[in-house]
Amino acid sequence: MDLSPYLNMMFSAVWYFIPFFILIIIIKSAWFKGVLGEWQVNLLIKFFLNKSAYHLIKNVTLPTFSDNNNQEQPTGTTQIDHIIVSQYGIFVIETKNMKGWIFGNANQKQWTQQIYKHKSKFQNPLHQNYKHVKTLEACLLAYNDTEKPSIFSVIIFIGDSSFKTKMPENVRFARGGIEYIKSKKDIVFNAEEVTRGC
């Protein structure tokens, strides 16, 4: 009995499953979860912040410099998920798309994510965003030699997670991050400065 037709049929059927497996791998990847989280934050900003008052800049890559403020030779780059420029200040947003319980405080280098009995560590997003804020601040001061700009760090968690420790007021879930931004009411930039910043 010749099995080659059956083998050929099996191999051709396997080819249909390969794209399916690749899609599953992509969907489960940290990269895809990050992109999905950023997209969700984009929607939140679009629907819940007034476009004429809050100007969104997405996926900004800035050069980083050494601590000795040598602005001539960059030491690398840093990528910022979202920057919102408004009369009320500049908001630097770090997005985290996570699930499970989240434990941490402002001073810890690493926070903990717990899903059932599995625990994993991740970089404190406040520390991560501190670098973003300082890099943006240095770039703005180099560009516009004036006083220190009003920059606010905002951490927005997206996904099915919950905080199990008390978090600082600038670490929020989804709409809570938007409410934090809206809570800043002091006007620190005039309309011309906002336009120039965008």
| Sheet strand arrangement including 118-123 | 118-123, 110-115, 100-103, 161-163
Helix (H, G, I), strand (E, B) or coil at 87: coil
Q: What residue ranges of the chain have pLDDT lower than 70? A: 1-4, 6-15, 67-72, 144-147, 197-198
pLDDT digits (tens, 9 = 90+) for 24-56: 787 777 777 778 788 889 899 999 999 999 999
Q: pLDDT value at position 33?
A: 78
Q: What is this structure's pTM?
A: 0.82
pLDDT at 13: 67
Give the pLDDT score at 34.
Answer: 77
Residue 23 confidence (pLDDT) = 76
Contact 135, 141 (CB under 8 A): no
d(CA 134, CA 155): 15
Residue 113's φ and ψ, nearest 5 degrees, are -110, 130
Q: What is the pLDDT of residue 100?
A: 95
pLDDT of residue 18: 73
Alpha helices of the chain — where are they, by DSSP H?
4-28, 30-48, 125-143, 174-183, 191-197
